[in-house]
Amino acid sequence: MADIIKLLPDHVANQIAAGEVVQRPASVVKELLENAVDAGASSIKLIVKDGGKILIQVVDDGAGMSATDARLSFERHATSKIQSAEDLFNLHTKGFRGEALASIAAIAHVDLLTRPQNTEMGTSLKIEGSDIISQEVAVSPKGTSIAVKNLFYNIPARRNFLKSDNVELRHITDEFQRVALAHPSIAFQYYNNGSELFSLPKANYRQRIVRVFGSRTNEKLVPVQEDTQVVKLSGFVGKPEFAKKSRGEQFFFVNDRFIKSPYLHHAVLSAFEGLLKQGTHPGYFLYLEVDPGSIDINIHPTKTEVKFDDEHTLYAILRSAVKHSLGQFNVAPVLDFEQDQNLDTPYAYRNREGVLPKVTVDQAFNPFSNTEKKPSFRQNFQGQQIRGWENLYVGLESKVGKEADFGGVSFESDTISGNLFPNYGEHAETTTTTFQLKRKFIVTTIKSGMVIIDQSRAHQRVLYEKFLKNITVKGAISQQLLFPLKFSLSKADKIIFDEIRESLGTIGFAFGAINADHLEIKGLPLMIPASEAESVLDELISEHQQHPDEDNFSQTDKLSKTLSKCLSVKTGDILDVGSQLALVNDLFGCKEPKLSPFNKAIYITLTEEEIDNKFK
């Protein structure tokens, strides 16, 4: 039998490796930024064009590379970070496997310009699909500039799977933020299609967080600090009242490396137990310093998952530190045994304003008058209470010992029906009967039995069809605001807002001035009250951030679904009988009353036969 196993050519092996390392343009940005950090740069510039598909360039003022190092850096498994297997358990750098540049060069055009500090001339290197096109001496500033052009040019199938420029730009922004937040001592600049998105000077952790997520973030932060033999913990958590429905502002950094850890995330959530509204998530920026030998960061190609030696102890320390900070800064409720409870204001009077006592003056009173003063109403009433109390019992003595006659007394009572579920239909004489069950379901009768309706899903369906009708039939109807509302935006939210701005206009939003971190709302859809405008817009941005790749539906349809979810009645809301009847009638007037906009069942029916079977 002939031999069938052969070694793969280098360019094929590099393309296979690129599939693990480079999933999208954001993967390239992550690798290049981390290389710049490892090079000891004090200033890093990121330049992107067309969502990273055309150009990704990173310029730093780090150590630079010699001509030989520049050539070797694009070979597989060539690295300056480790020398032996033991070094894997004592890592202080970002990259260490030596596959990133080789994988990137296999699927793109790469231009490298670099110069170390102790030389006068630098090196220029051009590579296309792992093939070195040219290498020559060139004039270059200190540091390294690497430009990745035409990503996936030789793998068109992979390029076709990339999303729109805005979606890819959002992923790039996420990677940029993670690196920038981990290294506040480095200045960062970020440009997209020639416009500046971020300019971050050197700062401390708090200042860097505020610079990235906007000035309003400063008031949301609660500092966390804990120093133990296992871990040195620092950072910030968000106040519970600023919790969002998305998980965007949640960051763990271990030894200045961004990681994802559901286990540590649960520790933070448990510290917020009882402080958050249902369906909301707290923000946090937590920095952990541990012994490099106690973690393994080589368990995933993207190096965002870390395995800890002693996770249980780390969980307990993290939970305790966050809970302590929330209590220390009066965010969480605490018991104060030293406070005198007699000085506390009762709850019934806590929100009341002080009322000045009123003094009534009888202006007709004359102390020198000889005429007898007519008693006032109060005096007359009090006198009758004192002198005429016997008249209250006149006529009762004849009733003593006899049965009192209550025939003339009438009592108010509800009409009692002997049939719990009356049959009604088109010609039924009885009226519709509804009641609310567990503040979640509406129970109503039908001819064959009864219907149990999920009130939240039913209202979602009603609102969803109203929004679609307003958009498609009537056009975008907007209620103009007398006083425009101002809404604060972070840079990342601004990117998402730009994606959905046109669709927001089609459903009734009207915007005024829009600058770097604020936008002005001049008009709202008819069914959105002004008091809910900020929370609704935040929900629309968060929903689009969580589900950006659902291209099967139009953006307007997705926004209508999100609006119906925001504005619908929730589980726990109390509805009066009139509201229950209106919701039932509106639901069965919809084109699709069985399913919610999110394809979940709205109601179930129980026939009279099924009810009878329960009693057999």
At residue 1, the pLDDT reads 57
> How far apart, in whole angstroms, are the C-alpha atoms of residue 220 and residue 214?
11
Q: What is the pTM of this model?
A: 0.71
State the Cα–Cα distance between residues 582 and 413, nearest whole angstrom. Answer: 26
Question: pLDDT digit string (tens) for 399-421?
Answer: 455 455 555 555 554 444 444 34
CA distance 227 to 417: 69
Q: How far is CA 583 from CA 442, 456, 462, 576, 586, in A?
A: 9, 10, 8, 11, 5
CA–CA separation, 284 and 272 (whole Å): 11
State the pLDDT at residue 427. 37
Q: Please report which confidence band the pLDDT of residue 583 belongs to, taking 50, 70 and 90 as the band edges.
A: very high
pLDDT at 410: 52
- Which pLDDT score is estimated for 390? 57
Residue 559: which H helix or E strand, with range? Answer: helix 555-567
Which pLDDT score, from 0 to 100, does residue 178 have? 92
Classify the C-alpha dihedral 26-27-30-31 as positive or negative.
Answer: negative
Most confident of 6-10, 36-40, 246-250, 465-469: 36-40
Average pLDDT, the chain: 80
- Judged against a pLDDT cut of 60, whether residue 141 lies above it is answered with yes
Q: How many CB atoms lie within 10 A of CB 318?
A: 27
Model confidence at 267: pLDDT above 80: yes
Sheet with 131-138: list strands edge to edge.
Answer: 131-138, 122-128, 109-115, 143-149, 55-60, 43-49, 187-192, 195-200
Parallel, antiparallel, or unpaired: how do β-strands 518-525 and 510-514 relate?
antiparallel
* Phi-psi region at 401: left, alpha or beta (left = phi > 0; alpha = psi -120 to 50): left
CA dihedral 85, 90, 95, 100 (to 10 degrees): 10
pLDDT at 396 over 60: no
Question: With the C-alpha atoms ordered 203, 283, 515, 30, is the resulting torsion angle positive or negative?
Answer: positive
Residue range 207-214: mean pLDDT, rounded: 90
Q: Which domains does the chain have, with CATH numbers?
A: 10-200 (3.30.565.10), 210-328 (3.30.230.10), 422-616 (3.30.1370.100)
**308-367, pLDDT tens digit by residue?**
888 889 999 999 999 999 888 766 655 555 655 556 666 566 666 667 777 777 777 777
| 393: pLDDT strictly greater than 80 | no
Q: Above pLDDT 70, what percent of the chain?
A: 76
pLDDT of residue 277: 81
Given this model, what pLDDT does residue 429 score? 38
Confidence class of residue 109 from pLDDT cuts 50, 70 and 90? very high
DSSP per-residue letters across 35-86: HHHHTT-SEEEEEEEGGGTSEEEEEE-S----HHHHHHTTSTT--SS-SSGG
So what's the pLDDT on residue 549?
53
- Out of 145-154, 158-167, 447-456, 476-485, which region has the weakest mean confidence (pLDDT)? 476-485
User: Which residue has 């343009």 as its token pair?
Assistant: 25
pLDDT bin (cut points 50, 70, 90) of residue 432 is low
- Work out the end-to-end distance of the chain between its first and last CA atoms, rounded to an integer number of angstroms: 74
